[in-house]
Structure 1
């Protein structure tokens, strides 16, 4: 039976797939290694998810390291469906994990997200549904399953920093200490775009940027809730950098493995008990 259980969302390609690979590579030397590791690679599309698992079985890095169980290593990887824009899908994975692992899971990396072209009310709606509301719902459903010493990692972006906002909105984000307060900011943005007022109200003209600011803010709020409950789960948010993926239209200068570095550090590494922070290039950075 596996000792350690990890879940990675949006993991059939790009950074998500690289996170799965690097979890398998780095797990043996990590503090979590007390026996076999099972990674659930999740994706919306079952064919792509299964193909990703098959690709990892043939992966040269994993073979060279003998990381997978069929090569004598510790890690096994299996696909599970998850569409974070669908409540039913999130709940089905939650219930599956509760049934299969009644003792809890150890690591959740929320990588799933979208970057849509264009900017209008519909793009804002679809982007926030996935990147903000979907990720938040996944956090709220999966966090209770994570063991007391486990980790939750949300993958955001430096696009979520607050340098493109009015002073009033910067203050509002920085002072939003609860989930409802952050969610209200997301609704305010939707309303401003729908009313054609986002520029005069101090918002940037990018649904992606605002969704990632929301993710940073809500991760801070989730960590604060955990602290107030007396919990010890570490909850952090990370920018993987500008990575060469489909989402960046392959304009990024970092490889997916490079991009996976800090997310995997937050999942497995010694980070000194830090929680509720925004990370980039292995360090806590300002928002």
Structure 2
């Protein structure tokens, strides 16, 4: 589906996610916690991933140990969901870090590696293990939390090389999922939530956490046949 087609389409949405199951990574704070909370309120059974089991996750969600850099955690989380409820309808790849500031010359290699591991390799591992479950029912959704800082048409100056490049790569993952699995019914989209008042965004950011979560949650409500393989902001497709 082209960007213009997606722009013209009025996506059909689930009013309720009752009976559906969602996994949200990095769900112990910020955007991840708010997305998990809103999906819970829509009736979904929500597995809230956190790197440490003593981290708080939203009430009414199922806390799951999930460090996205550890394939053992990823495999155990997905297998555990299958064992407990037998299905997965929505995967939200939210976990992310900003990584080193400055330019790529000054950035410590270990910090670049860590940023790519969390922001890009992690979502790839989640998809590797979760896609078979998502394909069991037509219209399984993957929502990748990306950023305009990774858009190729945007100016790429201003530091944060690991973050920018990892988000460009995350958009590439979305395009791959669309190309590889759309005929099987998978719906994959990237989303820029905007500048949000989280630990990463800071107190001066222009959007509340609730507003930042609105478009990701909207994408989670897409019914089979809804737009896929796109990059969204404020419920509108934007340029890669």
**TM-score under structure 1 length normalisation:** 0.70
Task: Kindly state the Cα deviation for residue 140 of structure 1 after the two structures are TM-superposed.
Answer: 1.6
Q: What SS does structure 2 have at the residue aligned with 1:39?
A: strand
Higher helix share: 1
1:164 aligns with 2:155: yes
Backbone CA RMSD of aligned residues: 2.1
For 1:99, the equivalent position in structure 2 comes to 83
Match of 1:9 among 10, 25, 28: 25
Q: What SS does structure 2 have at the residue aligned with 1:52?
A: coil
Does the 8 Å contact 2:50/2:67 carry over to 1? Answer: yes
Match of 1:126 among 87, 108, 114: 114
Q: Give the paired residue count.
A: 215
Task: Kindly state the Cα deviation for residue 205 of structure 1 after the two structures are TM-superposed.
Answer: 5.9
Task: Kindly state the Cα deviation for residue 148 of structure 1 after the two structures are TM-superposed.
Answer: 2.2
In the aligned structure 2, how far is the partner of 1:286 from the partner of 1:107? 24
Match of 2:98 among 115, 118, 121: 115
- Distance change (3 Å), C-alpha of 1:91 and 1:254: same
Match of 2:51 among 39, 44, 48: 44
Does the 8 Å contact 2:100/2:160 carry over to 1? Answer: no
In the aligned structure 2, how far is the partner of 1:254 from the partner of 1:271? 30
In the aligned structure 2, how far is the partner of 1:214 from the partner of 1:11? 22
In the aligned structure 2, how far is the partner of 1:207 from the partner of 1:251? 23
- Distance change (3 Å), C-alpha of 1:271 and 1:144: closer
Unpaired runs of 5+ residues, structure 1, are: 28-35, 57-75, 166-198
In the aligned structure 1, how far is the partner of 2:204 from the partner of 2:184? 40
In the aligned structure 1, how far is the partner of 2:225 from the partner of 2:133? 22
For 1:87, the equivalent position in structure 2 comes to 71
In the aligned structure 2, how far is the partner of 1:205 from the partner of 1:86? 24
Runs of 4+ in 1 over 3 A off after TM superposition: 269-272
**TM-score under structure 2 length normalisation:** 0.83
For residues 138-168 of structure 1, give each alpha carbon's deviation from its aligned partner in whole angstroms, at most 9, with x where no partner exists: 1121111112222111111111111336xxx
Does the 8 Å contact 2:100/2:162 carry over to 1? Answer: no
Task: Kindly state the Cα deviation for residue 135 of structure 1 after the two structures are TM-superposed.
Answer: 1.0
For residues 16-75 of structure 1, give each alpha carbon's deviation from its aligned partner in whole angstroms, at most 9, with x where no partner exists: 1110122233x2xxxxxxxx5311111101111xx223xx3xxxxxxxxxxxxxxxxxxx
For 2:12, the equivalent position in structure 1 comes to none
For 1:183, the equivalent position in structure 2 comes to none
For 2:40, the equivalent position in structure 1 comes to 24
In the aligned structure 2, how far is the partner of 1:269 from the partner of 1:249? 30
Task: Kindly state the Cα deviation for residue 124 of structure 1 after the two structures are TM-superposed.
Answer: 1.3
Q: What SS does structure 2 have at the residue aligned with 1:47?
A: coil
For residues 147-200 of structure 1, give each alpha carbon's deviation from its aligned partner in whole angstroms, at most 9, with x where no partner exists: 2222111111111111336xxxxxxxxxxxxxxxxxxxxxxxxxxxxxxxxx9x
